[in-house]
Amino acid sequence: MPLTWAGLLAAVTTAAGCDGTQSPLNPAGPQARDIATLTWWFFVISFVVYAVTMSALVWAMARRRRPSDDDPETSRRLARVIGSALAVTVVTLVGLSTYSVVNGRRLTPPAHAALTVDVVGHQWWWDFQYRDPPGAWVHAPNELHVPVGVPVRLRAVSADVIHSFWVPNLIGKRDLVPGIITHTWIQADRPGVYRGQCAEFCGDQHAHMALYVIAEPRDRFTDWLSRQRASAAEPVTATARHGRDVFLSGPCVVCHTIRGTGAGSRVGPDLTHVGSRATLAAGTLPNVTGHLAGWIADSQSIKPGNHMPPTRLSPGDLHAVVAYLETLQ
């Protein structure tokens, strides 16, 4: 099939990340829109400055010397031109700086937010905690669900090293620092799934520290939150029941929580509703049976250096644990 110019352009822009996925130039919320507008103004003005400067340079290099260049009047005219160019440069820089500062102030958290979510960065995954009401905490690893059209306050901190929370379609980078709570906010103006990424180098698997913001209409968000508040489903098949027994009698409980069972550790991600999530290992793999089994059997071959050790389960036990985890919707 002949490759058209339009097809080639589409392929190149997609490969360059210009298809709008995880792009600050495809804003879906007020903060990202302000940042995108600022970016375009800087780009256009910088381009004009560059074009004018290069044109003047080429003109000066091509111009031949004339006898009139030695006239005092020519020198005075030249001084006026240079002075004017200097003044335009200063006004442009001050204008851009002022616009940038004013724009940055608009990114501060709003006084009232519909919801507050705690964000904890770990090597190399995200824990999103919904703490309202007290006593009904929900941990949603790597998936931040938000209602559409309302500001959501984020209270962010790191559990180990510095990470940076970045969802380009919605919000600029915000560092997560151990021991310091950072306040920021996020708002999505249209439903969708927006990919985010840790934006501060945080160790071997920094590149595999993705997250997804899932923006939904209010009623669907409320449904999701109430499902997440529920304890883990009781397994109904013999295989799933065996899987739960293997899980609870093995090393899994040292790190993970499954609410409603005896597993209650907060070292690794909460698995109470692991079956409802779209990906495994912070966006590294789609959450399907084969990948889940592979991850449990030997996560180190998939994401070397992550803090989950190999489990050494027999094939039968591995199959049963996978069957059990998949029922945790």
Site residues (vs ligand CUA, CB under 6 A): 121, 124, 163, 198, 200-202, 206, 209
- Closest distance to ligand CUA from the beta carbon of 197 (Å): 8
* Residue indicated by tokens 């997440």: 228
Measured distance CA(288)–CA(322) in Å, rounded: 10
Q: In angstroms, what is the minimal distance from the CB of 296 to ligand CUA?
A: 23
C-alpha span between 194 and 20 (Å, rounded): 10
CA–chain centroid gap for 34, Å, is 17
| CA–CA gap between residue 242 and residue 248 (Å, rounded) | 10
CA gap 43, 278 in Å, rounded = 37
- DSSP secondary structure string, 226-246? HHHHSPPPPP-SHHHHHHHHH
Distance CA 95, CA 321 (A): 61
**Which residue number, 40 or 201, has a Cβ lying nearer to ligand CUA?**
201
Q: How far is the CB of 145 from ligand CUA (least distance, A)?
A: 21
Nearest-approach distance from CB 123 to ligand CUA, in angstroms: 7
C-alpha span between 122 and 4 (Å, rounded): 45
Residue with Cβ nearer ligand CUA (122 or 259): 122
As measured in angstroms, the least distance from the Cβ of 4 to ligand CUA is: 39
Please, what is the angle between helix 72-105 and helix 30-62, to 10°?
170
Q: Which is nearer to ligand CUA, 211 or 321 (CB)?
A: 211
Amino acid letter, 194: Y
Is the Cβ of residue 158 or residue 257 nearer to ligand CUA in the bound state?
A: 158
When the beta carbons of 158 and 327 are compared against ligand CUA, the nearer one is 158
In the complex, least distance from residue 17 CB atom to ligand CUA, rounded to whole angstroms: 18
Q: Residue 163 or residue 256: which is nearer to ligand CUA going by CB?
A: 163
